[in-house]
Amino acid sequence: MDNATERVERQRESSQALFGKKAAKIDQLWALARECADENWDGTGAAAIEIGAVLRTEGFLRALPDRVPLPELAVEPDGAVSLDWIRSPRRLVSVSVGRGSRLAFAWLDGTNRGHAVERFDGETVPGPILERIEAVVGNGDAALRAP
Amino acid sequence: MLPSGLPEIVADGEDLARFLTSSSQYTARMAKPAAFLPAPKGRETSVFRHGAEPADALWAIGERIVAGSRTIHGAAVVKAGDVRASGLGVFAEEPPPRHATIRGWPWRDDDPELQKAQQKELAILVASDATLVWRFP
């Protein structure tokens, strides 16, 4: 193979690997949806997961740029889905995806903390959320892994 | 004094255990913030006034009161004083024995997403101070 062909082949393999990771994360999301499909799934009165939140989360995961590590997933007591980028207990970002297009997020970065709301159009992850994620975990940070 | 024998006021130095019934509620290193968010109905987070030890007693509470058909994976244990330092309140609420609630979460009916963002910031603070206790190490 010439250099150009090799580059294309490497990019194709890289895309397949990334798609595989996203596909696995989306599978995990739907498994979570099944686990939390009934009210009181946590034993302390949580609402059932909202299917609209699951669908919007799937869209958010697909829209994440490939350079951004994939998040941890959790279900919130009101039925929304939480996407967490956790570098350490003192460095993390948490995004909440519910039925609507406005996404709540909050962060802790050492002594710096805050919260905000951004609109997600279903195709592009809002810039302020991406910036916060990248500030906390960096690009492709290996520290960010599921248990 | 409460029926459990505990004082009515939860002291800052007391441990509070939040039982974890889903593997999605924690990572290898910490309980996720979502584990501490309030239930929408009562607008509070249910916890138990118990620390990591004695472990048998901790898991007995979880099995008897929280688990039902669920599996108790572990507990996130945090000091009441750390919860209060985040701006939230901790109040004894028996029965069941040793039960307490974390209250004072921001609530805004005019803007649910802003409400959630504010709650998440506080939940992150609580989770970052909590210690994860595994039931099946």
Residue A16 is predicted with a pLDDT of 56
For residue range B89-125, what is the model confidence (pLDDT) as tens digits? 999 998 989 999 999 999 988 999 999 999 999 999 9
pTM of the model: 0.88
Q: What is the C-alpha separation between A74 and A121, in angstroms, rounded?
A: 22
For residue range A97-139, what is the model confidence (pLDDT) as tens digits? 998 999 999 999 998 999 999 999 999 999 999 999 999 987 4
Minimum distance, in Å, between the CA of residue A98 and any CA atom of chain B: 9
In this complex, is the C-beta atom of A84 within 8 Å of any C-beta atom belonging to chain B? yes
Closest by Cβ to A74, choosing from B25, B113, B124: B25
Q: What is the C-alpha separation between A90 and A43, in angstroms, rounded?
A: 28
- In chain B, which residue's Cα lies nearest the Cα of A35? B22
Does the distance separating the beta carbons of B22 and A100 come in below 8 Å? no
For residue range A64-80, what is the model confidence (pLDDT) as tens digits? 998 899 999 999 999 99
Q: What is the C-alpha separation between A48 and A77, in angstroms, rounded?
A: 8
- In chain B, which residue's Cα lies nearest the Cα of A113? B121
Does the pLDDT value for residue B52 go beyond 80? no
Does the pLDDT value for residue B69 go beyond 80? no
Q: Which of B82, B62, B106, B80 is nearest to B11 (CA)?
A: B80
Band of pLDDT at residue B10, cut at 50, 70 and 90: very high
User: What ipTM describes this predicted complex?
Assistant: 0.89
Q: What is the C-alpha separation between A10 and A24, in angstroms, rounded?
A: 21
Residue A140 is predicted with a pLDDT of 42
Does the distance separating the beta carbons of A117 and B34 come in below 8 Å? no
In this complex, is the C-beta atom of A94 within 8 Å of any C-beta atom belonging to chain B? yes
Residue B89 is predicted with a pLDDT of 97
Minimum distance, in Å, between the CA of residue B53 and any CA atom of chain A: 22
Q: Measured between alpha carbons, how far is residue A107 from residues A95, A96, B32 in Å?
A: 9, 12, 12
Residue A13 is predicted with a pLDDT of 59
Beta bridge partners of B131: B77
Closest by Cβ to A78, choosing from B40, B117, B125: B40
Amino acid present at B20: L
Indicate the average pLDDT of chain A: 86
- In chain A, which residue's Cα lies nearest the Cα of B66? A43
Instruction: Provide the 10 A C-beta neighbour count for residue B69.
Output: 5
Mutate to test the interface with A, among B24, B32, B45 (most CBs of A within 10 A): B24
Residue A9 is predicted with a pLDDT of 62
Cis peptide leading into residue B112 (ω within 30°) = no
